[in-house]
């Protein structure tokens, strides 16, 4: 027969379940561990472990961010990059509209500004041109601003505007005139303008037309 003490112990065990074992070590997050940063070395994938998860290797990041008052080489490189980019950006062309161009050709004291029609000669024969404009076709003669002055005059029968002269380009709808302005700048012309509305805008608003030298 079981003793009275053994029966009492069995009764206590069945009435109260056993407590889970208390862990021997408790991991506590400290400020030093919280401030430590890690990054995953994703360039080298580790083989999967037995539990099915991929092993990860962590590399601590060392170094401090520069204080607001301290100078850094990155700031100097950004300023140097900004200045170099500003030098490489092309200069903007002067934009002309219908009113400004009409005032130019009707002024009794017309300034020394050359209007250049970059359409093909066949287009000028059909529609005419803005009074006083010279024809330099950019599609069939894209090298017109890179050849010598003598070759230019032999080709077109008139002298080419000087590199320091102010020029205004137009075409039919503004596309070829913008390209011609860019070619002129590449060849050394600096005082360059363009008429984005070009011939379509000029004709629609009733601008004067010159045909075969007659206005």
What value, to the nearest 5°, has the Cα angle with vertex 116 and ends 115 and 118?
155
Nearest CA to 122 among 135, 110, 109?
135
* Tokens (6 digits) for 4: 């009275």
The answer to whether the CB of 54 falls within 8 A of the CB of 46 is yes
Structure tokens at 151: 């070759």
140 touches 177 (CB < 8 A): no
Dist. CA 24–CA 132, nearest whole Å: 99
Which residue is catalytic, options 118, 124, 130, 171? Answer: 171
Neighbours of 163 (CB within 10 A): 13
What tokens does 99 get?
A: 């009113």
Identify whether 171 is a catalytic site residue.
yes
Can you tell me whether residue 126 is helix, strand or coil? helix
Q: Contact, 209 vs 128, CB < 8 A?
A: yes
- Locate 112 and state its tokens: 């020394």
Which residues are tagged catalytic? 171
């Amino acid at each position: 027969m079981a003793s009275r003490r053994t029966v009492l112990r069995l009764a206590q065990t069945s009435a109260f379940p056993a407590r889970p074992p208390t862990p021997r070590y408790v991991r506590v997050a400290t400020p030093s561990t919280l401030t430590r940063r890690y990054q995953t070395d994703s360039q080298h994938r580790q083989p999967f472990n037995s539990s099915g998860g991929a092993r990860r290797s962590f590399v601590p990041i060392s170094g401090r961010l520069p204080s607001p008052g301290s100078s850094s080489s990155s700031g100097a490189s950004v300023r140097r990059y900004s200045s170099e980019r500003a030098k490489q950006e092309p200069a903007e062309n002067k934009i002309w509209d219908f009113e400004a161009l009409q005032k130019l050709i009707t002024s009794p004291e017309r300034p020394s500004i050359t209007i250049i029609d970059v359409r093909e000669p066949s287009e000028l024969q059909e529609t005419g041109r803005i009074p006083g404009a010279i024809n330099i076709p950019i599609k069939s003669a894209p090298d017109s601003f890179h050849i010598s002055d003598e070759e230019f005059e032999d080709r077109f029968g008139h002298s080419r505007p000087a590199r320091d002269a102010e020029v205004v380009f137009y075409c039919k709808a503004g596309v070829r005139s913008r390209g011609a302005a860019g070619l002129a700048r590449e060849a050394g012309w600096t005082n360059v303008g363009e008429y984005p509305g070009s011939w379509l805008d000029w004709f629609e608003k009733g601008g004067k037309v010159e045909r075969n030298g007659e206005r």
